[in-house]
């Protein structure tokens, strides 16, 4: 009987070791899958390099022949070879406090909470409180939500332009200064388009 109990204990110990081994293998498999999916995601978001059929010097000369101009934010002046070089070799811009944002990858959502987007949109006219809409659009289309908001703010005059607030039309498609809105139908849109052209 003592011999049999020893065998049962040995079986229990063996089974515990087998279960531990299986759990370790499952853990390693899960860890490997996570690492592989993270690596694949990061690779898909990396900058893509393209090959062009011109040397650097040829590309710069093409730019110079096009009559390039440069702005200091106030005036436009003719760009010289040094200006072209500065913009064709953007390494210094990567670390510039403002210019680095032009290199952002806009083709992915940052998964920013709708409430955080609402804070950003607070006081921005018709965009105020629209964080959820930008959050959903970003997730659905896989576009950076800050880009979407920046573009909307630019196009709507920070949510305050007349067009952004809505232009009231009468039944003929004409602006109705009395504030009565009419139904917009194809003919009224055509009438409006004729007047704006």
Specify whether 160 is located in the same domain as 131.
yes
Specify whether 118 is located in the same domain as 159.
yes
pLDDT at 147: 92
pLDDT at 197: 45
Q: What are the structure tokens assigned to 172, written together?
A: 């003929």
Specify whether 120 is located in the same domain as 98.
no
pLDDT at 102: 80
Specify whether 174 is located in the same domain as 150.
no
In degrees and rounded to multiples of 5, residue 71 shows phi and psi of -120, 145
pLDDT at 94: 78
C-beta of residue 33 within 8 angstroms of C-beta of residue 54 = no
Per-residue pLDDT for the chain (197 aa), expressed as one digit of tens each? 455 566 888 888 889 999 999 999 999 999 999 988 887 877 766 666 667 788 889 999 999 999 999 988 889 999 999 999 888 887 778 788 888 778 777 888 888 999 999 999 999 999 999 999 999 999 898 899 999 999 999 999 999 888 787 777 777 777 766 655 444 445 545 555 555 44
C-beta of residue 117 within 8 angstroms of C-beta of residue 134 = yes
Long-range Cβ contact pairs of 127-136 (< 8 A, separation 24 or more)? 127/152, 127/153, 127/156, 127/158, 127/159, 128/159
Distance CA 137, CA 117 (A): 12
Distance CA 107, CA 147 (A): 10
pLDDT at 5: 60
In a domain, 41, yes or no: no
pTM greater than the 0.85 cutoff: no
The residue whose two tokens read 């032009």 is 102
In a domain, 13, yes or no: no
**Domains in the chain: how many in total?**
3
Specify whether 189 is located in the same domain as 176.
yes
pLDDT at 115: 95
In a domain, 142, yes or no: yes
Distance CA 150, CA 96 (A): 20
Which residues are paired to 78 by β-bridges?
69
Specify whether 134 is located in the same domain as 154.
yes
Residue 179 CB neighbour total at 10 angstroms: 6
Distance CA 154, CA 146 (A): 12
pLDDT at 47: 60
In a domain, 30, yes or no: no
pLDDT at 179: 53
């Amino acid at each position: 009987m003592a011999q049999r109990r020893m065998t049962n204990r040995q079986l229990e110990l063996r089974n515990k070791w087998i279960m531990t081994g299986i759990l370790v293998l499952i853990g390693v498999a899960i860890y490997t899958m996570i690492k592989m999916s993270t690596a694949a995601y990061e690779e898909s978001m990396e900058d893509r390099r393209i090959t062009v059929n011109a040397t650097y010097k040829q590309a710069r000369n093409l730019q110079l022949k096009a009559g390039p101009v440069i702005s200091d934010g106030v005036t436009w002046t003719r760009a010289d070879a040094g200006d072209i070089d500065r913009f064709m070799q953007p390494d210094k811009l990567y670390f510039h406090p403002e210019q680095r944002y032009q290199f952002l990858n806009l083709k992915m959502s940052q998964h920013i909470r709708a409430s955080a987007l609402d804070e950003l949109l607070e006081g921005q006219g018709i965009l105020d409180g629209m964080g959820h809409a930008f959050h959903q659009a970003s997730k659905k289309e896989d576009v950076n939500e800050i880009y979407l908001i920046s573009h909307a703010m630019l196009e709507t005059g920070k949510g305050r332009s007349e067009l952004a607030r809505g232009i009231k039309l009468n039944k003929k498609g004409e602006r109705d200064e009395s504030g009565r809105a009419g139904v917009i139908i194809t003919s009224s849109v055509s009438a409006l388009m004729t007047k704006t052209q």
